[in-house]
Structure 1
């Protein structure tokens, strides 16, 4: 790697890490705790949760609209009401919840979360609002084979990534492979397809899945658990002492009046029964249509801005001459190499959570920005290759006619370059249709996100996946036909 390029990359990484460090320093040294007044002034309380864990939190169709319900949502509503603010529920994967809390994307996390010592180092917890236990869900046909966690020797046991079930399954089983997934519905699907032998989860959730799926059964786990591993509490950002103290009054009322068992769980059970009344895929056409809409919005916007960025980067990479142009060329090269050398998923999370420390971007906007930044790096290389493929005589002819270098590039070189790389640009567009699914990890309601909603609603694992496969194919095939049409027109011209 050229020495100048290496120096540029190190410089960029230094800026990024330095920015992150200075932000942490500022946050850690905040002198005043205005957490309570900030929420009351804002008038809303944003609750982060992972709605794939009935009866704690899950998706349900209410009056034709999909909403997040469950006993944890009822807890959040009680807290918001006592604070005199409006509750807003934000959905994301379980292992992203604490990051979202620390970066200010959500105000609190209620997701059946255990207040373990490791978590207490990073966030503040309220008093406990519920105490349960662990069970293991298995296929009903295997009920005579497995009795508890010690029966899975030589087998694979699943658990949700980032949960205490995952940690304890790894600690307390021997000769057992523990497989983690971000979604419990994915784990249940893997169980039914015999990819794993069992799923460790909270007892109420296990009961919910078994009650609504006749192919499943539940066995005791016999995990050796501490008090912190079987309870649930509300998480807040570290240092939110005033807010936590205020919320503790609500949590204590919930615990003392046993509202979870007497009110919240029975209400969640009614939603669970409603979900299984009509589990046909046609019943959820609005959810799939919403997913298609968001997928196309992300793809079109990311393609547009990615193309503009790609043109700028490709031209920057071809600059020659004075030291300023050389510096710009090396910076553009460093950007392209850095983006192409890191996974898009990491870039999406960095834009949403990392930049969120400076400006609170919505999930959809963050997803579009991240995918556009990623696409721009690849488009830059396509365009640079297209420009290099244009015969040098074209430039000489244009300049001999008195055209400036800018006009030559705009009216002579770029049109021919675009024509040469059109198939590559079309392939990039089709790829982005599929890659847009990555933004589901930050809670954007695209097609993958909506399919998870339907799976959580219906307890059907394969049918929603089959539907979105068909929808993705329709979108990509249609886009391919349109792009081929314009390609033929360009060749004819």
Structure 2
């Protein structure tokens, strides 16, 4: 099925678990009030990754982009039986288990299979769906490929870390197995003949084939356990009362065969609606939303990053007593640490790490993480700009009776800003592009929206072309504006 823990996420989870006091964990185990908490809160937050039709995907409903699919119908049924409202929180599949363990979501319904490895970290309900695996190929290759054994000497693709990826690695011979993080990327690679086949779940394979006449599907013949081909709902470890209550709903869904009779057919209708008009113009609202969030993140991060940068730069240049020395060392350590770690890890740490103590929204977490990252780089630009100002300027200001603070504020910093303006402009342009990283925690910026459009329309290249053009327009426009102000500064 979908992806298991990535190594990076596993390390972060392990770090978080060390932060949580052991006494709290024992207390939770002793008193299970998980059901009572949800009913008292009145809202059940469902985490999902809406890029996996027909389980969960985006569709335009009454002019609004909405998460739909088989799993969403199940989530609504669970919430209704609990007597609460359902709230859907979208994010990448890799982030879901961490989000569950850090309290960002109350449950996961996202085509997740209850493998033994996952059961060590979360509690699962009874399975609500039993599926299987097929291999999607180009229709022109139907005579060449019959099952997994036909790919000897070829290349078979699958989502990295999934059960089908592991099965392909173990159960094929003389076959190169290539993993990618997204099914839409895999289909794109298949159609561009970089892959010979893509192993995926049967319902997803059927969805792609039924909506793309250039594709076909063949049986995989993988030897898989029942846990690797079934889907269940995940809850935090120790949520026994909540799991038991939801099991009643799951059992009822299976007894009434609601998945096959109602939920899958309903998802199929949305899939057909999505492919009626797959033009990029039809999704202009999605791209506009992506631009909006990209600009919000960039502008806020530049503003707060500049303030943080000034503080860090001044702290790094502090000279004198013990306190100033300590500030200088702390600022230096911060800058070196931030510059020495990937921004993706920082975004995840702020969102999930602080989530243990403060439930910050994804957008706020993204702005905080990018601002902190930008501040470290801006600090070095500002420090270099201050050092570039001639010492005579400081001496002249001091001779006129200006204090150190006023000298820095009115004489040194304005000249430093003029010198480093091109570097600051470059940082602004970079942040426009780097804002795409926050898509991993579910912020609906341009990259996130393009992935949704790709999964909705089954078109791989067109959405990529659109966001390339949009990013170019944003960066080119910003460059022209920054160059205008640069010329004004030079003229002054």
TM range (shorter): over 0.9
CA separation in 2, counterparts of 1:84 and 1:17? 34
Distance 2:66 2:160 in 1: 24
Q: Which residue of 1 aligns with 2:461?
A: 462
Matched residue SS, 2:318: coil
Give the secondary-structure state (helix, strand or coil) at the position aligned to 1:395.
helix
Structure 1 residue aligned with 2:374: 375
- Aligned residue in 1 for 2:18: 21
Once the two structures are TM-superposed, the CA of residue 123 in structure 1 deviates from its matched residue by 0.4
What is the number of residues matched between the two proteins?
478
1:402-431: CA deviations, max 9, x gaps?
Answer: 111111111110000000000000000000
Further displaced range: 149-158 or 399-408: 149-158
Secondary structure at the aligned position of 1:279 is classed as coil
In structure 2, distance between residues paired with 1:194 and 1:25: 52
Do the aligned residues in 2 keep the contact of 1:95 with 1:161 (CA within 8 Å)?
no
In 2: Cα distance, 1:81 partner to 1:309 partner: 46
Which residue of the partner structure matches residue 318 of structure 2?
319
In structure 2, the CA distance between the partners of 1:432 and 1:322, relative to structure 1 (3 Å rule), is: same
- Distance across 2 between alignment mates of 1:24 and 1:108: 23
Q: 2-side partners of 1:164 and 1:192: how far apart?
A: 23
Equivalent residue, structure 2, for 1:85: 84
Q: Answer yes or no: is the 8 Å Cα contact 1:60–1:66 preserved in 2.
A: yes
- What SS does the corresponding residue of 2:233 show, helix, strand or coil? strand
1:39 maps to what in 2?
38
Residue 4 of structure 2 aligns with which residue?
none
Unaligned runs of 5+ in 1: 1-15
Deviation, 1:316, is: 0.5
Q: Does 1:256 align with 2:255?
A: yes
Aligned equivalents of 2:121, 2:357: Cα separation in 1: 20
Return the alpha-carbon distance in structure 2 between the equivalents of residues 270 and 35 of structure 1: 35
CA positional deviation for 1:141: 1.8
Aligned residue for 1:128, secondary structure, equals: coil
- Hey, what does 2:221 align to over in structure 1? 222
CA apart distance, 1:169: 2.2
Partner of 1:411: 410
Which whole-Å CA distance do the structure 1 matches of 2:23 and 2:367 have between them? 29
- CA gap of 1:217–1:18, structure 2 versus 1, over 3 A, is closer
- Find the counterpart in structure 1 of residue 66 from structure 2: 67
Report the Cα offset of residue 163 of structure 1.
Answer: 2.4
- The answer for the alignment partner of 1:329 in structure 2 is 328
**Cα deviation per residue 1:328-348 (whole Å; 9 max; x = unaligned)?**
111110110010011111111
The CA deviation at 1:189 is 1.5
TM-score by length of 2: 0.95
1:467-486 per-position Cα deviation (integer Å, ceiling 9, x unaligned): 11111111000000000000
SS in structure 1 at match of 2:265: helix
Query: Aligned ranges for residues 289-328 of structure 1 at < 5 Å?
Result: 289-328=288-327
Task: Please give the alpha-carbon distance, in whole angstroms, between the structure 2 residues aligned to 1:96 and 1:17.
Answer: 14
* Superposed CA offset, 1:129-180 (max 9, x none): 1101011111112222222222223333222234222222222223333332
Question: 1:27, CA displacement in angstroms?
Answer: 4.5
SS in 1 for 2:262: helix
SS of 2:128's equivalent in the other structure is: strand
Q: Is the CA contact (8 Å cut-off) linking 1:93 and 1:183 kept in structure 2?
A: no
Q: Aligned partners of 1:18 and 1:61: how far apart in 2?
A: 39
Contact 1:95–1:182 at 8 Å: present in 2 too? no
Indicate how the Cα distance of structure 1 residues 487 and 323 shifts in structure 2: closer, same or farther if over 3 A, else same.
Answer: same
Whether the 8 Å CA contact 1:94–1:182 is kept in 2: the answer is no
1:344-374: CA deviations, max 9, x gaps? Answer: 1111111111111111110000110111011
Once the two structures are TM-superposed, the CA of residue 32 in structure 1 deviates from its matched residue by 1.5
- Unaligned regions of 5+ residues in structure 2, if any? 1-12
Q: Return closer, same or farther for 1:18/1:76 CA change in 2, 3 Å cut-off.
A: closer
Please give the alpha-carbon distance, in whole angstroms, between the structure 2 residues aligned to 1:407 and 1:337.
29
- Are the equivalent residues in 1 in contact too, given 2:351–2:360 (CA < 8 A)? yes
- Counterpart for residue 425 of structure 1: 424
Aligned to 1:95: 94
Q: Say whether 1:453 aligns with 2:431.
A: no
Mean Cα deviation higher: 172-181 or 184-193: 172-181
CA contact (8 A) 1:437 1:446 kept: yes
Q: Write out aligned runs for 1:191-270 (5 A).
A: 191-270=190-269
Q: Between 145-154 and 201-210, report the one with greater CA deviation.
A: 145-154
Q: Residues 390 and 416 of structure 1 are in contact (CA less than 8 Å); yes or no, is this contact kept in structure 2?
A: yes
- What's the TM-score, normalizing by structure 1? 0.95
- Deviation, 1:320, is 0.9
Q: CA deviation at 1:312?
A: 0.4
8 Å contact 1:94–1:161 — kept in the other structure?
no
Alpha carbons of structure 1 residues 338 and 227: separation in structure 2 relative to 1, 3 Å? same
Secondary structure of the residue that 1:127 maps to in structure 2? coil
Segments of 4+ moved more than 6 angstroms = 16-19
For the residue of structure 1 that corresponds to 2:57, the secondary structure is strand
Q: Distance in 2 between matches of 1:89 and 1:181?
A: 25
Please give the per-residue CA displacement for 1:17-69, whole angstroms capped at 9, x wherever unaligned: 98862315245322321111111111111111111111111111111111111
3-state SS in 1 of match to 2:341? coil
Provide the rounded CA distance (Å) in 1 between the counterparts of 2:22 and 2:167. Answer: 33
CA RMSD of the aligned region, Å? 1.5
Report if the CA contact (8 A) 1:288-1:451 is conserved. yes
Contact between 1:93 and 1:182, CA under 8 Å: does it hold in 2?
no
Aligned to 2:47: 48
